[in-house]
Structure 1
Amino acid sequence: MKPYKIPESVLVVIHTADLQVLLIERADKPGYWQSVTGSLDAVDEPLLATATRELFEETGIVADGERVVLRDWKLSNIYEIYPVWRHRYAPGVTLNTEHVFSVEVPRDIPILLSPREHVQYRWLPYLEAADQCFSSSNAEAVLQLPRQLASFR
């Protein structure tokens, strides 16, 4: 039996310097566009390690800490797990805590999707990207991108 998912995850907003945002379409839910997301593999897995792993698994982008740097927004969202995905969690688990990160990449960076998770990707200006996100916490993170980036500079 497959172990239950841990109800703690990361959200990684991938963007360019001019605020183009990469969205990926879920393989299991056509029309559901999102940023990179993923749960911890172990309760003691560091959040940065989870974000680094999920970024690579879902897009092929390597956060090397020098040229491609993940930024921890020190922001968490608690949301209700969509009923369609609750079977992945232990019985009675209905809430997930999501930790937000971002990463700035060059526009021409190669994207290699994991075909079992995502079927296509697109770059959109951040306001359009926010409108395309099926998750409200993902949309809100994309909308906060300019303010968050200003705080890192």
Structure 2
Amino acid sequence: MAPTLPSFKIPQSILVVIYTPALDVLLIKRADAEDYWQSVTGSKDSLLETFEQTARREVLEETGIDCTRGAHLENHLHDWQLENVYEIYPRWRHRYAPGVVHNTEHLFGLQVPAGMAITLSPREHTAFQWLPYQQAAQACFSPSNAEACLMLPRFVAPKGGI
């Protein structure tokens, strides 16, 4: 029997800023890192998975919000056409193939109604909070996540909401 090769994370991920019409941003607290607040993030499951597919899957897995094809919020996921390339934190490099030290992160926004029900994946996150976008930026542990929160007003459609 052939030996099983280790499965490494793909260094291509998404970041989805989930927000309300009032620009309150959802932050979720990582289960594996004390006081690490963030937006929805996640890596591609395969090289064939698109960034959009990854974003829709991760939002559902991490928050219970369904923005998959055919869902009520399907058209509220917006590709910001921005990417960040950053150095992977040393504490998480073991998840990637040897020698991989950089990740490419693709940004999205998802507008949801105020009071949206959130169902966390307890394996990944332990708490959530809604904060005005400036405060959310201050609470994020990741500089790229903080910057995405601060860019939110640029990507929001004129008032009208959902």
Cα offset for 1:149?
Answer: 1.5
Q: Could you give the per-residue CA deviations for residues 50-85 of structure 1, whole angstroms, max 9, x where no partner exists?
A: 000000000000004563121000000000000000
Given candidates 35, 39, 48, the residue that maps to 2:39 is 35
Cα offset for 1:150?
Answer: 4.6
Whole-angstrom CA distance in 1 between matches of 2:156 and 2:6: 39
The reply to whether residue 138 of structure 1 matches residue 145 of structure 2 is yes
TM (norm. structure 2) is: 0.90
What do you get for the CA RMSD once the two structures are aligned? 1.5
Whole-angstrom CA distance in 2 between matches of 1:43 and 1:145: 28
Question: Which 4+ residue blocks in structure 1 deviate beyond 6 angstroms?
Answer: none
Whole-angstrom CA distance in 2 between matches of 1:30 and 1:123: 18
What 5-or-longer segments of structure 1 have no aligned partner? none
The reply to whether residue 110 of structure 1 matches residue 117 of structure 2 is yes
Whole-angstrom CA distance in 2 between matches of 1:61 and 1:107: 13
Change (3 A) 1:42 1:64: closer
Partner of 1:50: 54
Cα offset for 1:107?
Answer: 1.5
Partner of 1:26: 30
TM (norm. structure 1) is: 0.95
The reply to whether residue 67 of structure 1 matches residue 72 of structure 2 is yes
Change (3 A) 1:41 1:64: closer
2:46 counterpart SS class:
coil
Whole-angstrom CA distance in 2 between matches of 1:146 and 1:119: 28
Are 2:40 and 2:62, in contact at CA under 8 Å, matched by a contact in 1?
Answer: yes
Q: Percent identity?
A: 58
Partner of 2:88: 81
Deviates more, 1:114-123 or 1:56-65: 56-65
Whole-angstrom CA distance in 2 between matches of 1:22 and 1:4: 28
The reply to whether residue 10 of structure 1 matches residue 14 of structure 2 is yes
The reply to whether residue 97 of structure 1 matches residue 104 of structure 2 is yes
What 5-or-longer segments of structure 2 have no aligned partner? none
1:143 counterpart SS class:
helix
**How many residues were matched structurally?**
152
Are 2:63 and 2:118, in contact at CA under 8 Å, matched by a contact in 1?
Answer: yes
